[in-house]
């Protein structure tokens, strides 16, 4: 399997793209976190979805390695 560096060598990232006048094509992205509390129902949904996604991800990893899925 090729390494990430081999796959991305020479790749153009959007942060390097410029308009014809030399200005950046995309504005700088500034991300921030907002704290809030889940209701009991939201927390239950979050936990169930997280468990489902982790299970599918782990299964996909095993299949990609040629292993039997858990």
pLDDT at 26: 92
- What are the pLDDT digits (tens) for 18-59? 999 999 999 888 899 999 899 999 999 999 999 998 888 888
Q: Give the residue among 38, 37, 17, 34 at the shortest CA–CA distance from 26.
A: 17
User: Contact at 8 Å (CB) between 26 and 15?
Assistant: yes
- Band (1; pLDDT cuts 50, 70, 90): low
Q: Is the pTM of this model over 0.85?
A: no
Q: Tell me which range, 4-18, 39-53, 55-69, is most confidently predicted by mean pLDDT.
A: 39-53
Q: Would you report the helix, strand and coil content of the chain in percent, each value rounded to 5?
A: 45, 5, 50
What count of other Cβ atoms lies within 10 Å of the Cβ of residue 59? 14
1's tokens:
């399997």
């Amino acid at each position: 399997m090729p390494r990430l560096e081999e796959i991305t060598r020479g790749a153009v990232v959007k942060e390097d793209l410029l308009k014809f006048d030399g200005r950046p094509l995309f504005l700088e992205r500034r991300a921030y976190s907002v704290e809030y509390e889940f209701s009991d129902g939201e927390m239950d949904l979050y936990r169930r979805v997280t468990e489902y996604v982790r299970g599918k991800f782990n299964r996909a990893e095993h299949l990609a390695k040629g292993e039997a899925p858990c």
